[in-house]
Chain A
Amino acid sequence: MPSMLQDTGFDARIGVYVCHCGLNIAGVVDVEAVRESARFLEGVVVVRDNRYTCSEVGQKGIADDIKEFMLNRVVIASCSPRLHEKTFRTLLEKSGLNPHLLEMANIREHCSWVHYDNHEAATEKAKGLVHSSVARARLLQPLSRTKGRVVPEVMVVGGGVAGISASLYLGGMGIKTYLVEREPSIGGHMAMLDKTFPTLDCSLCILSPKMVEVAECENIKVLSYSEIEKVEGQVGDFRVQVRRKPRYVNEEKCVGCGDCVAKCPVKVKDDFNRNMGTRKAIYIPFPQAIPPAYVIDDQNCRYLTQGKCKICQAVCERGAIEYDQTSYVETIEVGAIIVATGFQPYDPRGLPQYGYGRFPNVITSLDFERLICADGPTYGKLKRPGDSQVPKRVAFIQCVGSRSVASGCRGYGLDAETGSSVGATDPKAYCSRVCCMITAKQAFMVKEKYPDAEVYVYYIDMRTAGKGFEEFYQRGRHEGIVFLRGKPGEIEERDDGCLRIISEDLDSGCILDLCFDMVVLAQGLTPPDGLVEFAQKMNLSRSEDGFLMEGHPKLRPAETAIDGIYLAGCVQFPKDIPDSVAQAGAAAAAAAVTCSKESIEIDPLGPVIDEALCIGCKLCEMLCPYGAIKVELTDKGPKAKSIEVACKGCGVCGASCSTRAITMKHYTDSQLTAQAKAILEVV
């Protein structure tokens, strides 16, 4: 029960606690001096310093003081509130105070750490921050938290191996899960691979049982050929609008017999086979696809583009063809979201010196996977695209599009001009982490299939950290694969179609001039197509490399800064399959924790609107990024109304209101001015 005293803030009784943080703070800031400078500030009844305020002892001291001195406000000068605000709020609550009567001054990150070389100035700044916190604390108001509901269901976006694994974990826990995939089938990049390092199991042989499990699990609903349109709400209670694209084939009726395919007159390049083979306008991406239903490619279907044909409808005995399907939006309510939208392979056309796209026999590692795969366009025979001959000399070039700042793009993934995602063709600064092993695997596979072939690998460093990885790489060396340190500057195509590479071998210092029948570019992994817009919809931040930012680089690798949204797989950063699966497990566990709660406490931040001042100009409504404030017609004219559950407390409305009709809870003008004034008085 908050007392009257707390409510009015009249007779503030403030306790000030200055933390040493071991030597983290005390090594620079004169903690005693800061403590003493606060002793006689208005409203302060007790000041103390602690070695570790967050420790048991430190916390108990504060709890005792709250009782003994009847404190009604607490100021803690220590580390960032991001670290311990929760700890101390809980402490206040346990001691019978409203948790919002706490104010923290960050004298570690803001003083001792940044001003380590100037103890005096750091101390003065710490005093200023403490005084300003006391000034604000005097005006703090108790706030009551509201409880939000929890929908015990999860949405997983992206049906690669990460999304599939997360869904299976969740489904196994009995949690209803929606798996949203942009393409007609789940599977992601793993479905395109032939074998996987370091054990060389067949990729689809290990993936497709999992895909079938997804299809059979009664708790998992696969929404394929669908994309996220809009996300509203907060942890526990998201409303996601999913756009379902038309397949033109009824998923329930289609049994995958393939009669339609045989008769369809339109042949187009097969994107699943990296445009190296062909498929029909009605197709299934690969035989093991889930859902196992066909789909009509409406860009190429003769009926859908020219209004004539309907052959597939005529041959389909089950009447599964539905040309009149249209796209529609389905709204799904979930308590948590896992983002697993994977990666996009780097497009080497951004490095014209390697001739990808111009020289037919220069291919990428993903092209290689399709060429060597028994289900691929050449039925597993490594035929080079130029003339369908089996190459006798194959070179691999590492770090194509990775570890490069050459073109000036440091891998931000953002176009400075337009803010849109940079094309997949801009080289990135980071190491893509998997391509060394991919090449080790592929070079090995060439040797395995064609023992007489000569295989060369041009590299900067071979990075093979992982269980069994180094051993696998050494095995390749023993098989006779030649590893050359030194990245070639250029590939030349000779008249006979052979590819000439001149490079410096950094180990011997020699200049090498070699010719190959085929060159494989070990393309890096870049953020998936459309991630910028996707992140905006979800309000997620991206790191400098363009991938989604995790909650904490060490301690919250599967979380995001937004409660209730989690990450799995390559969308966070390039990684291999085992790491993707492991992260999927972590994300699933985190989502399950959210879903297991009965309700979620919502921080009571947000706008309070003074109707007498509001002129209903809608500026706040137009600016609120969450649609959480709306102008409604009342008998006093149009007035803004806050929609509490949707509000994230960002404060945009408060800052934008031209008539100052909006006060932000916990960040009122008077609190902030008092804080600013107090700092100015110290300096």
Chain B
Amino acid sequence: MNKMTGSAMGEDTRGAIQEGIRNSAARMLESGEIDVFIGYEDGTLPLRTTPVFITRPEDAERLVWGPMCENNLTCYLPKFQGTVGVVVKGCDVRTLVNLILENQISRDKVKIVGVPCTGIIDRDRVGKALGTDRIINNAKVIERSLMLEGDGFEVEMEIRDVLASSCEVCRYPVPVVYDVLIGDESMAKDGKDPEAGYLEVEQFAELQPDARFSFFAQEIEGCIQCYACRQACPLCYCLECFADRQSPKWISRWRGLSDKMLFHLGRVLHVAGRCVDCGACRRACPVGIDLRLLTKNMEKVVKDSFEYESGLDIGGLPLLATYRREDPDDFIL
């Protein structure tokens, strides 16, 4: 097969990467280098994978790889004592870097198996493209497409048309840090438009304040305060989240819109200078709130104001631990 350049990869490459992940996991477990390996296995529903924690080399066979591997697995790392192996995509490894900088894990306690990423799919988009009333029984990745089968239909879809929004504008698909890199760096680069990354937030910022507020209110109204976004975020590791505090009780779960807004504004401020736009929160949201509009804007503010992109420099300092005289301060009231 030719070198892959599409936004998705073919069966062979995907298979080879999957094989590579299984081999690395088995090898590291066998040699005792790691105590547990975190990866993905097939989920119980089509188009789904689920995190799996492998401790015996022979179980490495359960590991899979593909555009359905959507979770950011680094969120489990602070919970382990021993040495952990983990599969990461380009965005995941940046949260991992942040966890190291923030003293939540140490570099020597994690073996990073990086995969140059071609993007993952957004199931909501697949659903929309297909029509929401059609139930998928079986899904397969073939070359750069998805084959979806249901009762009485069989549809082929280009993966590039149903990519997660964060993947479409991903700037760092190749992991910036790794112990093992599985796959070819060159295949990750194509088919994406990082320059367009901030288009959406820029357009949004041009609206009148009223319009922005009512859009925001409308989006947030649907929040059921399950805090799945928080759970999915590797950087939300506080022992007691401000949203759960009883004294002072910042946020109530029954008062309605203002509490929901406060939660989301609080959440996005807490990941300021840390969020890497991996999109995990967006995908975790069961009601499909476009949380990326908030996080992406915060990322832009940080980049514009401090020339800082989070999670790229393992030898650096967290943004909030740095100060330069020329730092802008006009946003401080």
User: Does B85 make an interface contact (CB < 8 A)?
Assistant: no
Residues from chain A with a CB closer than 8 A to the CB of B317 are 622
Size class of the B contact interface (CB-based, 8 Å) = 10 to 19
- Tell me if B239 and A659 are in contact (CB < 8 A): yes
- Tell me if A615 and B320 are in contact (CB < 8 A): no
Of A615, A623, A631, A656, the contact of B239 (CB 8 Å cutoff): A615
User: Does A683 make an interface contact (CB < 8 A)?
Assistant: no
Question: Chain A: how many interface residues by the 8 Å CB criterion?
Answer: 19
User: Does B226 make an interface contact (CB < 8 A)?
Assistant: no
User: Does B240 make an interface contact (CB < 8 A)?
Assistant: yes
- Tell me if B239 and A622 are in contact (CB < 8 A): no
Residues from chain A with a CB closer than 8 A to the CB of B102 are 617-619
Q: How far is the CB of A539 from chain B (nearest CB, A)?
A: 15
User: Does A616 make an interface contact (CB < 8 A)?
Assistant: yes
Bound-complex Cα distance A613 to B317 (A): 22
Residues from chain B with a CB closer than 8 A to the CB of A616 are 103-104
Of B103, B237, B325, the contact of A638 (CB 8 Å cutoff): B103
User: Does B321 make an interface contact (CB < 8 A)?
Assistant: yes
- Tell me if A612 and B318 are in contact (CB < 8 A): no
Q: How far is the CB of B106 from chain A (nearest CB, A)?
A: 10
User: Does B270 make an interface contact (CB < 8 A)?
Assistant: yes
User: A590-638: which residues lie under 8 A (CB-CB) from chain B?
Assistant: 612-619, 622-623, 631, 638
User: Does B333 make an interface contact (CB < 8 A)?
Assistant: no
Bound-complex Cα distance A623 to B319 (A): 11
- Tell me if B318 and A615 are in contact (CB < 8 A): no
User: A374-421: which residues lie under 8 A (CB-CB) from chain B?
Assistant: 417-419
Residues from chain B with a CB closer than 8 A to the CB of A419 are 325
User: Does A660 make an interface contact (CB < 8 A)?
Assistant: yes
Q: How far is the CB of B275 from chain A (nearest CB, A)?
A: 13
User: Does B238 make an interface contact (CB < 8 A)?
Assistant: yes
Contact with A along B101-142 (1 / 0, CB 8 A): 011100000000000000000000000000000000000000
- Tell me if B237 and A619 are in contact (CB < 8 A): no
- Tell me if B321 and A612 are in contact (CB < 8 A): no
Residues from chain A with a CB closer than 8 A to the CB of B308 are none
Among residues of A, the one whose C-beta sits closest to the C-beta of B271 is: A658
- Tell me if B237 and A660 are in contact (CB < 8 A): no
Report whether over half of chain B's contact residues are helix, strand or loop; otherwise say mixed: loop
User: A116-158: which residues lie under 8 A (CB-CB) from chain B?
Assistant: none
Residue picked from B239, B242, B270, most chain A C-beta under 10 Å? B239
Of A417, A418, A623, A659, the contact of B240 (CB 8 Å cutoff): A659
Bound-complex Cα distance A317 to B270 (A): 70
- Tell me if B325 and A617 are in contact (CB < 8 A): no
Q: How far is the CB of B302 from chain A (nearest CB, A)?
A: 15
Among residues of B, the one whose C-beta sits closest to the C-beta of A612 is: B239
Among residues of A, the one whose C-beta sits closest to the C-beta of B247 is: A670
- Tell me if A631 and B103 are in contact (CB < 8 A): yes
- Tell me if A615 and B237 are in contact (CB < 8 A): yes
Known: A615-B104, A638-B103. A622 touches B318 (CB 8 A): yes
Contact with A along B308-324 (1 / 0, CB 8 A): 00000000011011000
Contact with B along A415-435 (1 / 0, CB 8 A): 001110000000000000000
- Tell me if A623 and B104 are in contact (CB < 8 A): no
Known: A631-B103, A638-B103. A615 touches B238 (CB 8 A): yes
Known: A613-B240, A658-B270, A659-B238. A619 touches B321 (CB 8 A): yes
Known: A419-B325, A623-B321, A656-B320. A617 touches B104 (CB 8 A): yes
User: B237-287: which residues lie under 8 A (CB-CB) from chain A?
Assistant: 237-240, 242, 270
Known: A617-B102, A617-B104. A622 touches B321 (CB 8 A): yes
User: B208-222: which residues lie under 8 A (CB-CB) from chain A?
Assistant: none
Q: How far is the CB of B69 from chain A (nearest CB, A)?
A: 28
Report whether over half of chain A's contact residues are helix, strand or loop; otherwise say mixed: loop
Bound-complex Cα distance A21 to B25 (A): 78
Bound-complex Cα distance A418 to B317 (A): 20
- Tell me if A660 and B242 are in contact (CB < 8 A): yes
Residue picked from A418, A614, A615, most chain B C-beta under 10 Å? A615
Residues from chain B with a CB closer than 8 A to the CB of A656 are 320
Bound-complex Cα distance A631 to B321 (A): 15
Residues from chain A with a CB closer than 8 A to the CB of B242 are 659-660
Q: How far is the CB of A622 from chain B (nearest CB, A)?
A: 4
- Tell me if A619 and B318 are in contact (CB < 8 A): yes
Bound-complex Cα distance A656 to B273 (A): 14
Bound-complex Cα distance A146 to B320 (A): 32
Q: How far is the CB of A96 from chain B (nearest CB, A)?
A: 33
Q: How far is the CB of B73 from chain A (nearest CB, A)?
A: 20
Q: How far is the CB of B109 from chain A (nearest CB, A)?
A: 13
Residues from chain B with a CB closer than 8 A to the CB of A615 are 104, 237-239
Residues from chain B with a CB closer than 8 A to the CB of A617 are 102-104
Residues from chain B with a CB closer than 8 A to the CB of A622 are 317-318, 321
- Tell me if A618 and B103 are in contact (CB < 8 A): yes
Residues from chain B with a CB closer than 8 A to the CB of A417 are 326
Among residues of A, the one whose C-beta sits closest to the C-beta of B317 is: A622
- Tell me if B239 and A613 are in contact (CB < 8 A): yes
Bound-complex Cα distance A324 to B81 (A): 48
Bound-complex Cα distance A418 to B237 (A): 37
Bound-complex Cα distance A622 to B317 (A): 9
Residue picked from B103, B237, B320, B326, most chain A C-beta under 10 Å? B103
Q: How far is the CB of A674 from chain B (nearest CB, A)?
A: 12
Bound-complex Cα distance A300 to B240 (A): 62
Contact with A along B289-333 (1 / 0, CB 8 A): 000000000000000000000000000011011000110000000
Bound-complex Cα distance A614 to B237 (A): 11
Residues from chain A with a CB closer than 8 A to the CB of B238 are 613, 615, 658-659
Residues from chain A with a CB closer than 8 A to the CB of B270 are 658
Bound-complex Cα distance A387 to B317 (A): 59
- Tell me if A612 and B103 are in contact (CB < 8 A): no
User: B146-191: which residues lie under 8 A (CB-CB) from chain A?
Assistant: none
Bound-complex Cα distance A623 to B317 (A): 11
Bound-complex Cα distance A613 to B325 (A): 31
Known: A419-B325, A612-B240, A613-B240. A619 touches B104 (CB 8 A): no
Bound-complex Cα distance A140 to B134 (A): 65
Bound-complex Cα distance A656 to B318 (A): 12
Residues from chain A with a CB closer than 8 A to the CB of B237 are 615
Residues from chain B with a CB closer than 8 A to the CB of A658 are 238, 270, 320
Residues from chain B with a CB closer than 8 A to the CB of A618 are 102-103, 321
Q: How far is the CB of A101 from chain B (nearest CB, A)?
A: 24
Residues from chain A with a CB closer than 8 A to the CB of B240 are 612-613, 659
Bound-complex Cα distance A658 to B236 (A): 11
Bound-complex Cα distance A421 to B325 (A): 14
Bound-complex Cα distance A658 to B266 (A): 11
Q: How far is the CB of B332 from chain A (nearest CB, A)?
A: 12
Bound-complex Cα distance A561 to B108 (A): 45
Bound-complex Cα distance A20 to B321 (A): 46
Q: How far is the CB of B74 from chain A (nearest CB, A)?
A: 16
Bound-complex Cα distance A659 to B103 (A): 14
Among residues of B, the one whose C-beta sits closest to the C-beta of A659 is: B238
Bound-complex Cα distance A418 to B325 (A): 8
Residues from chain B with a CB closer than 8 A to the CB of A631 are 103
Q: How far is the CB of A624 from chain B (nearest CB, A)?
A: 10
Q: How far is the CB of B323 from chain A (nearest CB, A)?
A: 8
Among residues of A, the one whose C-beta sits closest to the C-beta of B272 is: A658
Residue picked from A623, A638, A656, A659, most chain B C-beta under 10 Å? A659
Bound-complex Cα distance A173 to B104 (A): 54
28 pairs, CB–CB < 8 Å, chain A vs chain B:
A419-B325, A612-B239, A612-B240, A613-B238, A614-B239, A615-B104, A615-B239, A616-B104, A617-B102, A617-B104, A618-B103, A618-B321, A619-B102, A619-B318, A619-B320, A619-B321, A622-B317, A623-B320, A631-B103, A656-B320, A658-B238, A658-B270, A658-B320, A659-B238, A659-B239, A659-B240, A659-B242, A660-B242
Q: Footprint of A on B, CB under 8 Å? A: 102-104, 237-240, 242, 270, 317-318, 320-321, 325-326
Please name the 6 residue pairs, one residue from A and one from B, whose CB atoms are nearest each other, closest first.
Answer: A622-B321, A617-B102, A618-B103, A419-B325, A659-B238, A617-B103
In the complex, besides A615-B237, A623-B321, 4 extra interface pairs with C-beta distance below 8 angstroms are A612-B240, A614-B239, A619-B102, A660-B242
